[in-house]
């Protein structure tokens, strides 16, 4: 895995996601005051911080579910955001094109309740990848097998536990062969006993070399998996660092937060 | 009871063909109008949920036509349009258009409420997997909203059948017009209008049943009946795919 980061977390791969000067306002309230973040191939980036710090908003700008008011969102070198002043992007893309490279897993799973697990995964394959029904269903079944849920293919979301639903959601995002996977507090809505199976699926994905950006409150998991760690508060990145960040961070605000959570 | 027996109830049986034909006409007008109203209603709901000033236009339309009685609506369409624009609709067409004008407005409100009941995460999930926004609407949001809307649409359809009774003013041969015609010869209003009412009530029970079947077919996981057949076939296909993939991973 040549793109995997160095043992200290220093990146070896190329930049997949580049956020520069991201500002976001809802009405008159500015919630992001200029955020820069680079995610390299094979890298696992962890974003954490208190509620309302803007970490989910940052994540959601990466696939344009949240359109930044200002700033540059580059994925694989293509500009999808408003861009930086005085810089003219060579290549610009639309949100639908962007999302075909970026997978996302939500806090509330957001499976489609009217479809079986298999069709939750195969629908996007048919819609976004224009695969035939037969190919899409076969690919979907393989994805479900990857997260250990092949036997649940014919079940509806309401018949599955939260942990199983979230694993289907992971399979759904994975089946599209994304270049980067975004996780928005993927275990926050789960019963404590179900957190483990989702983290295990994510760990396996990380080991396979997938590029990941994870917003989470699970700091033990973050410490274990994060090549690059970002602490956010009140719409800015307070501090960030590579492996060992949780022991070496300097800002009193970061220390205070980590101690309160761990 | 003896009093009731003194009436000539046999009159209803004698005119059963005309009455049945009247009911059929009423159901036909209402049925065609329902299909068009659904299309109009869904479009109106989307316009109503869009940005001003479009949403205002839809809001005004919806409130005007929810307020207009069916009788007035059909007189506008049949006589008004003919006078103003010189377009002459048949009574059937005029009845359908009059109902669509009113029930398009009602159904738009039903769909608006149903669409708003779908969590916004559903749309986000659809977009996040790279689906086109229109496709997200058609395959993710709309089926879920329809499931919520179906019971209310059933009520609307029963209302539509009943509202066809006002189309007697333009001479549509629906239940009430047929009843009036027979009455003008036999002078038995109590018998005839009771029979008419019974026909509307009978239709109500029947379509209530139909919509219940549709509703049941949309429950998840699918229950018995028609939905059960489709669901069994779907599961057979899923099982097949699962076995295939299992066999492949077994070989590896």
Give residue-wise pLDDT tens across range B175-219: 888 888 888 888 888 888 888 999 999 999 999 999 998 888 888
Q: What's the confidence (pLDDT) of residue B247?
A: 83
Question: What percent of chain B clears pLDDT 90, i.e. is strictly above it?
Answer: 59
ipTM given for this complex: 0.90
Q: Do A118 and B124 touch (CB under 8 A)?
A: no
A98, closest residue in chain B (CA to CA): B130
Mean pLDDT of chain B: 89
User: Cα-flanking dihedrals φ and ψ of residue A31, to 5°?
Assistant: -105, -20
Cβ contact B169:B74 at 8 Å: yes
Count Cβ atoms within 10 A of the Cβ of residue A144 and give its class: 0-12 exposed, 13-18 middle, 19 or more buried: buried
Helix (H) or strand (E) holding A70: strand A70-75
A126 interfacial to chain B (CB closer than 8 Å): no
Option in B132, B239, B244 nearest A154 (CB): B239
Q: Is B35 helix (H, G, I), strand (E, B) or coil?
A: helix
A63, closest residue in chain B (CA to CA): B128
Write out pLDDT tens, residues B52-97: 899 999 999 999 999 999 999 999 999 998 889 988 889 999 999 9
Residue in B240, B222, B243 with CA at minimum distance from that of residue B231: B222
Chain A: give the shortest CA distance to residue B11, in Å.
51
Q: Do B121 and A137 touch (CB under 8 A)?
A: no
CA distances from B152 to B44, B55, B158, B192, B220 (A): 17, 23, 10, 31, 19
pTM here is 0.86
Strand partners, A161: none
Give the confidence band of A198 by pLDDT, cuts at 50, 70, 90. Answer: very high
Q: Do B220 and A99 touch (CB under 8 A)?
A: no
Q: Do B220 and A114 touch (CB under 8 A)?
A: yes
Q: Which two tokens stand for residue B246?
A: 């299992």
Instruction: Give the range with max mean pLDDT: A3-17, A99-113, B5-19, B175-189.
Output: A99-113
Q: What's the confidence (pLDDT) of residue A262?
A: 77
Q: What's the confidence (pLDDT) of residue A246?
A: 86
CA distance A52 to A64: 19
Q: Is A159 helix (H, G, I), strand (E, B) or coil?
A: helix
Residue B235: other Cβ atoms inside 10 A: 17
pLDDT > 50? residue A173: yes
Q: Do B242 and A141 touch (CB under 8 A)?
A: yes
Q: Do A137 and B237 touch (CB under 8 A)?
A: yes
Count Cβ atoms within 10 A of the Cβ of residue A42 and give its class: 0-12 exposed, 13-18 middle, 19 or more buried: buried
Question: What is the pLDDT averaged over residues B101-113?
Answer: 96
CA distance B41 to B43: 5
Chain A: give the shortest CA distance to residue B226, in Å.
17
Residues of chain A neighbouring B135 (CB-CB closer than 8 A): 127
A118 interfacial to chain B (CB closer than 8 Å): yes
Prior bond of B12 cis (ω within 30°):
no
Higher-confidence residue of B228 and A214: namely A214
Cβ contact B207:B199 at 8 Å: no
Question: What percent of chain B clears pLDDT 70, i.e. is strictly above it?
Answer: 95
Helix locations, B164-224, DSSP H: 175-186, 189-217
User: For the sheet containing A29-40, what is the strand order?
Assistant: A29-40, A15-26, A70-75, A78-79
Give the confidence band of B223 by pLDDT, cuts at 50, 70, 90. Answer: low
A112 interfacial to chain B (CB closer than 8 Å): yes
pLDDT > 50? residue B252: no
Q: Do B241 and A63 touch (CB under 8 A)?
A: no
Q: What's the confidence (pLDDT) of residue B218?
A: 83
């Amino acid at each position: 895995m040549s793109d995997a980061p160095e043992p200290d977390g220093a990146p070896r791969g190329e930049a997949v996601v580049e956020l520069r000067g991201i500002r976001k306002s809802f009405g008159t309230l500015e919630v992001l005051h200029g955020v820069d973040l680079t995610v390299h191939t094979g890298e696992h980036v962890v974003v954490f911080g208190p509620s309302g710090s803007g970490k989910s908003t940052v994540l959601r700008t990466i696939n344009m579910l949240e359109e930044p008011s200002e700033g540059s969102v580059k994925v694989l070198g293509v500009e999808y955001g408003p861009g930086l002043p005085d810089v003219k992007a060579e290549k610009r893309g639309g949100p639908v094109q962007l999302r075909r490279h970026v997978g996302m897993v939500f806090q509330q799973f957001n499976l489609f309740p009217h479809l079986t697990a298999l069709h939750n995964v195969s629908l996007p394959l048919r819609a976004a990848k224009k695969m035939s029904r037969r190919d899409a269903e076969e690919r979907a079944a393989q994805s479900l097998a990857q997260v250990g849920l092949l036997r649940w293919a014919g079940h509806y979301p309401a018949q599955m536990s939260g942990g199983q639903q979230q694993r289907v959601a992971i399979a759904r995002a994975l089946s599209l062969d994304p270049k980067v996977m975004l996780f928005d507090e993927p275990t926050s809505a789960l019963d404590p006993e179900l957190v483990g199976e989702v983290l295990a699926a994510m760990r396996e994905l990380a080991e396979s070399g997938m590029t990941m950006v994870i917003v989470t409150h699970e700091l033990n998991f973050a410490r274990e998996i994060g090549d690059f760690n970002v602490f956010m508060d009140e719409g800015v990145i307070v501090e960030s660092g590579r492996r060992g960040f949780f022991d070496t961070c300097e800002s009193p605000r970061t220390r205070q937060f980590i101690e309160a959570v761990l | 009871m003896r009093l009731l027996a003194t009436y000539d109830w046999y009159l209803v049986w004698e005119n059963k063909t005309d009455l049945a034909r009247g009911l059929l006409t009423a159901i036909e007008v209402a049925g065609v109008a329902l299909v068009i109203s659904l299309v109009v209603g869904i479009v109106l709901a989307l316009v109503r949920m869009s940005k001003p000033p479009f949403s205002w236009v839809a809001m005004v339309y919806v409130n005007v036509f929810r307020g207009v009685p069916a009788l007035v609506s059909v007189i506008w369409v049949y006589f008004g349009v003919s006078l103003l624009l010189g377009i002459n609709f048949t009574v059937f067409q005029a009845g359908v258009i009059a109902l669509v004008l009113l029930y398009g407005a009602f159904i738009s409100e039903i769909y608006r409420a149903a669409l708003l009941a779908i969590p916004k995460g559903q749309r986000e999930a659809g977009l996040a997997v790279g689906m086109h926004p229109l496709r997200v609407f058609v395959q993710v949001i709309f089926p879920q909203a329809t499931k919520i809307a179906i019971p209310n649409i059933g009520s609307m359809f029963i209302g539509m059948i009943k509202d066809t009774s006002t189309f007697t003013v333009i001479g549509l041969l629906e239940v009430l017009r047929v009843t009036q015609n027979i009455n003008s010869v036999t002078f038995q209003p109590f018998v005839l209008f009771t029979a008419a009412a019974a026909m509307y009530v009978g239709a109500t029970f029947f379509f209530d049943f139909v919509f219940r079947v549709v509703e049941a077919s949309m429950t998840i996981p699918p229950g018995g009946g028609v939905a059960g057949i489709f669901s069994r076939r779907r599961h057979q296909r899923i099982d097949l795919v699962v076995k295939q993939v299992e066999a492949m991973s077994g070989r590896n």
